[in-house]
Amino acid sequence: MVWKRRKELLEELAMVLVKVKAIQFGTFTLASGRISSYYIDLRAIPSYPGAYKTLIDVYGEFLRHEFKEAGYDAIAGIPTAGLTLSSPIALALEKPMIYVRKEEKDHGRNKLVEGVTRPGWKVLVIDDIVTTGGSVLSAIEAIRSEGCDVEQASVVIDRLEGGSAALKKQGVKLHAMTDILELVKILRAKALLSAEEATAVTTQVHKR
């Protein structure tokens, strides 16, 4: 990615994430039961208007540069955190937005995909974080079943746990604005992360 302001904006975002505790370091038990040396929760960001604006501004600028040539017709969000990104981003970029429900409605058309879709549309799927890629792939399957074409997905942070490779196997390119190792490097340089904490994250990633 060629992005003139990339370093400056990612540094600003990293510091904001730490300030509102959207990213924390230590010992955490994830929903899967696995132990992790860090925890990311971007769902709390909209509760802090300043932090939320920073995230949307930085991510929006990333998408404008990343897709200067590779176009798409609509943006799709994945509940719940993905919707807090896709909604303002779609407005800012003036793109139609759809979203994928967690479960089918038990009435009406029993739809998984909400919003207007067009057969042949190229849809960019957006989520906050990718780990193994499971939730993104489920959304892609639902969108493709509506006759849309999904070859691109984007997230704010890649946890580097196989998500990109899993998406690639299904013909989808992942565009991650940053990853956990880059964030660790930034925060370490800003003295916002200890050497021990940085090493723990690096070790965890390289074990995958």
Q: pLDDT for 24-58, tens place per residue?
A: 999 998 877 889 999 999 999 999 999 999 999 99
Total tally of structural domains belonging to the chain = 1
Q: How buried is 37 (Cβ within 10 angstroms: 0-12 exposed, 13-18 middle, 19+ buried)?
A: buried
Domain assignment present for 37? yes
Domain assignment present for 159? yes
CATH code of the domain covering residue 164: 3.40.50.2020
Domain assignment present for 45? yes
Domain assignment present for 185? yes
Domain that holds residue 113: 6-207
Tell me the whole-structure pTM to 2 decimals.
0.92
Sequence-ordered list of residues with C-beta below 8 angstroms from that of 47, at least 6 positions apart, any chain: none
Domain assignment present for 133? yes
Mean of pLDDT values over 10-29: 95
Sequence-ordered list of residues with C-beta below 8 angstroms from that of 8, at least 6 positions apart, any chain: none
Q: pLDDT for 154-201, tens place per residue?
A: 999 999 999 999 999 999 999 999 999 999 999 999 999 999 999 999
Domain assignment present for 1? no
Which alpha helices (H) appear in the chain, and where do they start and end?
A: 6-19, 49-66, 81-93, 134-144, 163-169, 180-189, 195-207
Alpha carbon distance 188, 173 (integer Å):
29
Residue 3 has pLDDT above 90, yes or no: no
